[in-house]
């Protein structure tokens, strides 16, 4: 998979305007800045960018599109002014449909393999809260810029669920092992300021525009680096985690299906959904 992506890494001429590359799907848009050649992938699923089957499929398709059109980099962000992504759509896991939940988890695996393994430089402009699956997406990127007063982290244990190994290794690729272990066990959500202090995010910006500009600046640091050498270096550094999921994706799916169908897990998800609804009516 990575080899064919690498074939796309040839220099290209740049023009001066920005163009909408894809409106084929309604849940993501891809805008390429023709001056920088950087693509911005925006998630757009109100109210909270909950990662359901359709959004995951659209994100995957958009990443493939960006890989295919020789963009110089990918910036992931959200159209919601206060939420990057609320993580997995809990309705996909609560009282799930047998076929759909398999497609859902497979789509999540596809997104992670494509984003974590992307041959182009990736950055997340985290313009809002980013719990669980939202944090997975952000930490799959190479660089993170976050707006103040939001939260980010893997809170799975607080929901009574266990983050799969690949969520954990992605988190661990950003945070020191001891800190990652403690945060995962606690289900800790970090404020922007805390995330910056521990290195979970790289920079703080005061607006989405500034966050995107800082992400573009990061991607720009590769301008004078040979793209093939950079991509092969990234590929080698990330190969172990990618191979592990590629080799075990069927078992990973079965484990998830078994786990999510446990009565205790279903009960916990139901209670959690109720608590989210109650919060909305307060």
Ligand X SMILES: CC/C=C\C/C=C\C/C=C\C=C\CC(=O)SCCNC(=O)CCNC(=O)[C@H](O)C(C)(C)COP(=O)(O)OP(=O)(O)OC[C@H]1O[C@@H](n2cnc3c(N)ncnc32)[C@H](O)[C@@H]1OP(=O)(O)O
Residues forming contacts to ligand X in the complex (CB under 6 A) are: 47-48, 50, 82-83, 86-91, 129, 131-133, 155-156, 159, 161-164, 255-256, 259-260, 276-277, 279-280
Strand 143-146 and strand 18-22: the pairing is unpaired
Contacts of 202 by beta carbon, 8 Å cutoff, 6+ apart: 143, 144, 145, 196, 218
**Least Cβ distance, residue 136 to ligand X (angstroms):** 7
Active-site residue, from 49, 52, 127, 155: 155
**Least Cβ distance, residue 146 to ligand X (angstroms):** 14
Q: Examine residue 47 and say whether the peptide bond preceding it is cis (omega within 30 degrees of 0).
A: yes
Crossing angle of the two packed helices 177-186 and 165-172, in degrees rounded to 10: 130
**Least Cβ distance, residue 91 to ligand X (angstroms):** 5
Note if 53 is an active site residue: no
**Least Cβ distance, residue 56 to ligand X (angstroms):** 11
Report the residue number, 66 or 132, with the smaller CB distance to ligand X. 132
Note if 80 is an active site residue: no
Q: How many CB atoms lie within 10 A of CB 112?
A: 23
Active-site residue, from 27, 41, 55, 88: 88
Report the residue number, 83 or 219, with the smaller CB distance to ligand X. 83
Report the residue number, 143 or 150, with the smaller CB distance to ligand X. 150
Active-site residue, from 67, 92, 156, 241: 156
Report the residue number, 41 or 136, with the smaller CB distance to ligand X. 136
Contact 229, 121 (CB under 8 A): no
- Beta-bridged to residue 33, according to DSSP, are 18, 38
Q: What residue number has its CB nearest to ligand X?
A: 87
Note if 88 is an active site residue: yes
Contact 146, 100 (CB under 8 A): no
Cα distances from 149 to residues 127, 140, 223, 281, in angstroms, run 10, 22, 32, 23
Cα distances from 219 to residues 128, 192, 215, 242, in angstroms, run 21, 22, 6, 22
Report the residue number, 48 or 114, with the smaller CB distance to ligand X. 48
Note if 49 is an active site residue: no
Active-site residue, from 37, 73, 117, 133: 133
Q: Which residues are catalytic?
A: 88, 133, 155-156
């Amino acid at each position: 998979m990575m080899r064919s992506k690498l074939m796309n890494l040839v220099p290209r001429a740049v023009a001066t305007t920005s163009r909408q590359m894809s409106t084929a799907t309604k849940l993501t848009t891809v805008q390429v800045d023709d001056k920088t050649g950087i693509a911005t992938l925006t998630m757009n699923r109100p109210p909270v960018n909950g990662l359901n089957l359709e959004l995951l499929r659209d994100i995957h398709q958009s990443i493939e599109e960006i890989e295919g059109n020789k963009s110089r980099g990918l910036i992931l962000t959200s159209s919601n002014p206060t939420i990057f992504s609320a993580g997995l759509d809990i309705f996909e896991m609560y009282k799930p449909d047998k076929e759909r939940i398999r497609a859902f988890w497979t789509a999540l695996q596809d997104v992670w393999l494509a984003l974590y393994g992307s041959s182009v430089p990736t950055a997340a402009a985290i313009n809002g809260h980013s719990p669980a699956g939202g944090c997975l997406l952000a930490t799959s990127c190479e660089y993170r810029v976050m707006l103040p007063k939001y939260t980010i982290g893997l809170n799975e244990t607080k929901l009574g669920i266990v983050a799969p190994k690949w969520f954990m290794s992605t988190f661990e690729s950003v945070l020191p092992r001891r800190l990652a272990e403690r945060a995962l066990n606690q289900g800790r959500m970090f404020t922007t300021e805390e995330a910056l202090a521990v290195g979970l995010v790289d920079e703080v910006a005061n607006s989405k525009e500034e966050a995107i500009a800082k992400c573009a600046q990061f991607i720009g640091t590769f301008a004078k680096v040979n793209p093939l050498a950079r991509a092969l270096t990234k590929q080698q550094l990330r190969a172990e985690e990618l191979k592990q999921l590629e080799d075990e994706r069927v078992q990973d799916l079965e484990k998830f299906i078994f786990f999510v169908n446990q009565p205790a897990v279903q009960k916990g998800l139901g209670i959690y959904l109720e608590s989210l609804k109650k919060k909305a009516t307060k």
